[in-house]
Structure 1
Amino acid sequence: MLKLDEIKKPIEQEIDSFEEKFKASMKSAVPLLDRITHYIVKRKGKQIRPMFVFFSASISGGITESTYHAATFVELLHTATLVHDDVVDNSFERRGFFSVNALWKNKIAVLVGDYLLAKGLLLSVNHNEFKQLKIVSDAMQQLSEGELLQMEKVRRMDISEDVYYEVIRKKTASLIASCCAAGATSAGADEKTVDLMYNFGEKIGIAFQIKDDLFDFGVDDVGKPKGIDIKEKKVTLPLIYALNNAKSGEKKKMINLVKNHNEEPEKINAIIDFVKSSGGLAYAEEQMFKYQEEAFKILSQFPESDSRTGLENLVRFTTERNK
């Protein structure tokens, strides 16, 4: 499998430039805020979303100064959601390091998230990037709706595949779709191309989330620790498939384990074994590759280029990554 460093080579210079602009965009006159944002930047993730922005711009007309605004805007908002998520989930770790709320407590973490959100909005307004503002703001609205829809359904444990896809389309795919659409917009692409790139991003965003679902069941013994989603009572695609294909008595038993015994290691292992033996993992993987293929079909409408190859490799990375 290709590594991210190899995939980003065609846009390596642009990503390096973006990282400097991203750091500058978080600057504040408040020393405490500067310390916290410096801590966040030092522990940055894989930069997958900015890469989608730059490759999408490149394939849609070319990278411009507006592309840097789009990538910075998306990353500011994404970082804000991660800071807020850690507060909501009462999580004290992010990417192997202490989360902001673990070090500075919830009140400060919420305010930092709000600050990053405001910086992103101001960046767009100050540079008259109103099309980008609409695209990314719509994604943020969908993300919030997706989280709340998931919380509602988790309580009732009645989630169907259709509802699952609605949740992940809003909660995960909308942000990657906005990266691709904002990238195309920054290149001056027409509406048809922007829509095409949005649909591409949505497909790969869904595949990305299904891959995360599979990690929870210990696929390849890497990625997220086993059973984290089960402990949080998140109903994922492998579990949905297993429950929908189980006999009534077994289904009730498994729902009871998820709802009432989700902290007990032996019960978590029983749920994982149930999903594996029911074919839930194989089914989810099949669906993941289906969305990957649909993303490839969209890309095939663009001429061959380093940018198209870069996007194809980035798609493969999202479905073949081991963490």
Structure 2
Amino acid sequence: MILWCYVTYWIHKACSGFADMIFGNKIALLSGDYLLSNSCVELANLRNQELVELMSSAVRDLAEAEFVGLRDLQNAPLPARPKSDTKDYDVLIADNIEPLAVGEAMGNAKAEWTVRHILNAGSLLGKSCQGTLKLAGHPEELQRQGYLFGKHLALAWQAYLDREPFTPGSFGSFSLISAPVLFALQHDPSLYDFIEKGLDNVEDVDYEQVRERVMVGPALELTKNLQNDHSSAALDMLRKLPDSDARTALQNIIAAMQD
């Protein structure tokens, strides 16, 4: 039931994307809202206040993700201007119910990417795993490990997806807040001049020139390392669980993302 919240969110996002082609934007969004409200009703029927609070914080994180950083006039996200004095930033807080400190991360490539994607997906998947273990009556430490597993799995998958537009022969637009772009900005802040052209509309950005600049620097290798770090962290969490078919299936999912 908790994972239903996760699925519902992505259905809601997908409906928005296909709206104009099939049903029209309003009907698509209303369909997503209906599914989301249904999942909330089912969650309430579980009559577990701690679980409701946990999943409510995940929905809050999803909403906050839509307001992080700059956006163009069409509401497409843009990266923050890179900082010259980046510091280590720990996004793993002791109480994952509390909001993340977003402002400190902006302009720091790794921290900004991590915060954006914890809010956008890592929080929901992690808290869904945590909530499932809570419902099953497992101890709090194992619930915490479940959260970390889901969070790292979501981040590993996102890093994997972020690399795809920069494979040889790729063309077209891509996310300007993807890990390769953020790492490239950190390495070469002058690249931000190309990003700023998208303040009115991201279509004004010369994507091919940005792609070329990203591919000649260290950004892709850093993104690969980022993916490997989160994949390894997710596997470490899994190894703390007893052997089972479910654990093997999850390990296979992670292995499928590796080069």
Query: TM-score, with normalisation over the residues of structure 2?
Result: 0.76
Identical pairs, percent: 20
Shift of the 117–256 alpha-carbon distance from structure 1 to 2, 3 Å rule, reads closer
- 5 Å-filtered alignment, 1:187-226, equals 187-217=136-166, 219=167, 226=172
- Give the CA deviation at 1:74: 3.4
**Higher relative CO (CA 8 A, sep ≥ 6), structure 1 or 2?**
1
State the alpha-carbon separation in 2 of the partners of residues 281 and 181 from structure 1. Answer: 32
State the alpha-carbon separation in 1 of the partners of residues 169 and 131 from structure 2. Answer: 36
State the alpha-carbon separation in 1 of the partners of residues 30 and 201 from structure 2. Answer: 35
1:227 counterpart residue number:
173
Shift of the 82–189 alpha-carbon distance from structure 1 to 2, 3 Å rule, reads farther
Whichever of the two has the greater Rg, that structure is 1
**1:269 equivalent in alignment to 2:198:** no
Please tell me the residue identity of whatever aligns with 1:179.
S
Contact 1:174 1:202 (C-alpha < 8 Å) held by counterparts = yes
Point out the structure with the larger helix share. 1
2:131 counterpart residue number:
182
- Could you list the per-position Cα deviations for residues 156-178 of structure 1 after superposition, in whole angstroms to 9, with x for gaps in the alignment? 54532222211111112112212
2:112 counterpart residue number:
163
2:187 counterpart residue number:
245
2:6 counterpart residue number:
74
**1:255 equivalent in alignment to 2:195:** yes
Please tell me the residue identity of whatever aligns with 1:126.
N
- Give the CA deviation at 1:198: 0.2
Contact 1:242 1:278 (C-alpha < 8 Å) held by counterparts = yes
- Give the CA deviation at 1:129: 4.6
State the alpha-carbon separation in 2 of the partners of residues 261 and 270 from structure 1. Answer: 17
Contact 1:215 1:226 (C-alpha < 8 Å) held by counterparts = no
- Give the CA deviation at 1:221: 5.5
State the alpha-carbon separation in 2 of the partners of residues 204 and 215 from structure 1. Answer: 17
Shift of the 213–131 alpha-carbon distance from structure 1 to 2, 3 Å rule, reads same
1:283 counterpart residue number:
222
- Could you list the per-position Cα deviations for residues 180-214 of structure 1 after superposition, in whole angstroms to 9, with x for gaps in the alignment? 11222232212111111001111111111111211
1:31 counterpart residue number:
none
- Could you list the per-position Cα deviations for residues 108-164 of structure 1 after superposition, in whole angstroms to 9, with x for gaps in the alignment? 222222211110111122242544433322211111112210445727545322222
Structure 1 spans left out of the alignment, 5+ residues: 1-68, 92-98
State the alpha-carbon separation in 1 of the partners of residues 207 and 233 from structure 2. Answer: 34
- Give the CA deviation at 1:263: 3.2
**1:102 equivalent in alignment to 2:21:** yes
Please tell me the residue identity of whatever aligns with 1:227.
S
Contact 1:207 1:289 (C-alpha < 8 Å) held by counterparts = yes
- Could you list the per-position Cα deviations for residues 260-319 of structure 1 after superposition, in whole angstroms to 9, with x for gaps in the alignment? 795369x321111110101211110111101111111111222222222111112223x3
Shift of the 262–196 alpha-carbon distance from structure 1 to 2, 3 Å rule, reads same
Contact 2:198 2:204 (C-alpha < 8 Å) held by counterparts = no
2:55 counterpart residue number:
136
Shift of the 213–245 alpha-carbon distance from structure 1 to 2, 3 Å rule, reads same
